[in-house]
Amino acid sequence: MSHPIDPGRLRPRRRWYAAAAVIAVLFTAVGVGGFVVGIVSATRSIPPFEYRNDGPQAEATVQLSAGTRYAAWELEGSTDSCSFDQGITTHGTKTSFTVTRDGRDWQRVTDFSVATDGAYQISCGPPFAIGEAPELGQLAGGLTGGILALTALPCLGVTIGGIIALVTGLRRSSHKRRLLGGA
The answer to pTM > 0.75 is no
- 51 to 48, 60, 119, 128, 171: CA distances (angstroms): 9, 9, 12, 9, 68
What is d(CA 31, CA 160) in angstroms, rounded to the nearest whole number? 14
Q: What percent of the chain has pLDDT over 70?
A: 96
Confidence of residue 1 (pLDDT cuts 50, 70, 90): very low
For range 26-46, the mean pLDDT: 93
| Residue count (the chain) | 183
- Tens digits of residue pLDDT in 78-101: 776 788 888 898 887 766 788 888
Instruction: Encode burial over 40-51: b for 16+ CB neighbours within 10 A, e otherwise.
Output: ebbeebbeebeb
142 touches 38 (CB < 8 A): yes
- Helical (H) or strand (E) element with 100: strand 98-101
Q: What percent of the chain has pLDDT over 90?
A: 46
How many of the other CB atoms lie within 10 Å of CB of 22? 14
